[in-house]
Amino acid sequence: MSFREGLAGYYRLCGLKGVAAICSYRLLGIPKEITVHPACVRTPVHLRIRTSDVSVYGDIFLGEEYDFPLPFNPETIVDGGANCGMATLLFATKYPQAKIIAVEPEPSNYSVLLKNTNRYPNVVPIQAALWNRDCRLTIGKEHYYDKWAFRVSDTGTEVNGITIPSLMRATGIKSIDLLKIDIEGAEAELFEKPDWLPFVKAMAIEFHESVRPGCKAKVDNICRDSRSWQRGETTFYVRQ
The pLDDT of residue 210: 86
Question: What confidence category does residue 154 fall into, taking pLDDT thresholds of 50, 70 and 90?
Answer: very low
Give the pLDDT confidence of 94-149 residue by residue, as tens digits.
999 999 999 999 999 999 999 999 999 999 999 999 999 999 998 876 544 444 45
Domains and CATH numbers, the chain: 51-239 (3.40.50.150)
The pLDDT of residue 240: 84
> Using only C-alpha atoms, what is the Rg of the chain?
18
Average pLDDT, the chain: 90
Give the pLDDT confidence of 169-199 residue by residue, as tens digits.
999 999 999 999 999 889 999 999 899 999 9
The pLDDT of residue 100: 98
* pLDDT surpasses 70 at 151: no
Specify the range with the lowest mean pLDDT, choosing from 2-16, 59-73, 127-141: 2-16
